[in-house]
């Protein structure tokens, strides 16, 4: 959403009032977040990108709307050289994440290639390994979850709880000696997954994000698509949005809604992710038709912060969003033979 920094961008980023510069912005956000909560599925999540200017006010507002118990984390993106003032340089932007119902939310996960295993407790001929958690504790397990079932150790100890993988996946891992129950003869330790060096493994994601493009790289990428320099300032990197969607561990046919579409980064991120893993995710973008111009003395004049976009023929932010998604779709359909379709709908006031 708008960060309420007071800066002049192509869209309205200032909600200050004489009495309280935060109040109008919070009212603006509250209406949208209440609607967002209604739209979320029971196992859905929302990510809200924000700068320090409104971070703490937004956190309190979201705690009120979604509940403190449904706060997932603040994912901090370290980008470029940061923003400096007289006293320090701010290196991060924040992304607050909340669940509709955290008890129904699958654990987040990221991918890593393991390289740090130094032990081999059971003398596995495949070499050194380390272990990773593969279950909820008994107290946190949900008996109604589809992954709630029993497995037995070689010493016939029953472990009944909610697991992070399906029963079929568990049986395959057991057959391949990938579940560690502790050493013989007791085999009495909580079952864990064996992870060998140089294998891809799923890990709990860090809340500090560093492996994305910089703001400058994201800007250059968008400039190439739109055919001009800084038509739209400070777009988010595709790799950042891809990362947030990926670690959410949502189904590969998830529906993703971005109701501050801006330059359309979310659309390209979903296309990329579907290409990478064969997913069938769908994406809805919503963008208010904010004009790049206003009428002054009877003349159409570029708004402050919108001069380049206006001169390049973009009548509104929506035109920028539409240009990007059409360019992205044309590229992906021709280069990767992805037969996806887009539908552009304009909402009008009812008479």
Give the chain's domains with CATH numbers: 1-104+205-210 (3.40.50.150), 110-203 (no CATH), 212-351 (no CATH)
The reported pLDDT for the residue numbered 202 is 82
pLDDT at position 7 over 80: no
Token pair 């864990």: residue: 192
CA distance linking residue 318 with residue 344, whole number of Å: 10
267 phi/psi in degrees, rounded to 5: -60, -50
- 190-206 pLDDT tens trace: 999 999 988 888 888 99
What length does the chain have? 351
Give the percent of the chain with pLDDT over 90.
71
What does the pLDDT average to over 99-121? 90
Residues 6+ apart with CB under 8 A from 24: 15, 16, 17
CA distance linking residue 52 with residue 84, whole number of Å: 13
- Tell me the pLDDT band of 5, cut-offs 50, 70 and 90: low
- HSE-CB for 36 with a 13 A CA cutoff: 25
- 10-46 pLDDT tens trace: 545 555 554 566 788 889 899 999 999 999 999 999 9
pLDDT at position 8 over 70: no
pLDDT at position 273 over 80: yes
203 phi/psi in degrees, rounded to 5: -130, 160
Examine residue 185 and say whether the peptide bond preceding it is cis (omega within 30 degrees of 0): yes
Bridge-partner residues for 294, per DSSP?
301
Average pLDDT, the chain: 90
What does the pLDDT average to over 334-351? 81
Answer yes or no: pTM beyond 0.85. no
């Amino acid at each position: 959403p708008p960060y309420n920094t007071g800066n002049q961008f192509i869209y309205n980023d200032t909600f200050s009032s004489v009495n309280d510069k935060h109040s109008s912005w919070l009212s603006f956000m509250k209406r949208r977040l209440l609607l967002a909560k209604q739209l979320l599925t029971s196992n859905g999540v929302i990510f809200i990108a924000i700068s320090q200017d409104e971070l703490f006010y937004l956190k309190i507002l979201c705690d009120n709307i979604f509940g403190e118990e449904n706060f997932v984390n603040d994912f901090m993106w370290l980008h470029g050289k940061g923003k400096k003032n007289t006293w320090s340089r701010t290196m991060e932007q924040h992304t607050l994440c909340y669940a509709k119902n955290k008890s129904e939310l699958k654990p987040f996960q990221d991918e890593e290639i393991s390289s740090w295993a130094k032990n081999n407790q059971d003398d596995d001929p495949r070499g050194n390994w380390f272990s990773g958690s593969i279950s909820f504790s008994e107290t946190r397990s949900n008996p109604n979850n589809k992954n709630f079932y029993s497995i037995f150790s070689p010493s016939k100890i029953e472990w009944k709880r909610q697991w992070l993988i399906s029963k079929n996946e568990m049986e395959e891992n057991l057959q391949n000696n990938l579940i560690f129950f502790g050493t013989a003869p007791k085999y009495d330790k909580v079952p864990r997954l064996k992870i060998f060096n140089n294998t891809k493994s799923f890990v709990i994601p860090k809340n500090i994000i560093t492996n994305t493009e910089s703001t400058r790289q994201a800007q250059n990428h968008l400039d190439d698509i739109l055919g001009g320099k800084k038509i739209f300032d400070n777009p988010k990197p595709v790799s950042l949005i891809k990362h947030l969607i990926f670690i959410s561990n949502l189904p590969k046919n998830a529906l993703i809604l971005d109701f501050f579409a801006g330059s359309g980064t979310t659309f390209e991120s979903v296309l990329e992710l579907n290409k990478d893993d064969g997913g069938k995710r769908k994406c809805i973008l919503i963008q208010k038709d904010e004009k790049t111009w206003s009428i002054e003395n009877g003349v159409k004049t570029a708004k402050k912060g919108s001069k380049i976009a206006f001169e390049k023929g973009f009548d509104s932010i929506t035109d920028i969003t539409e240009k990007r998604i059409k360019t992205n779709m044309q590229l992906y359909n021709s280069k990767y033979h992805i037969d996806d379709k887009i539908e552009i709908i304009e909402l009008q006031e009812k008479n």
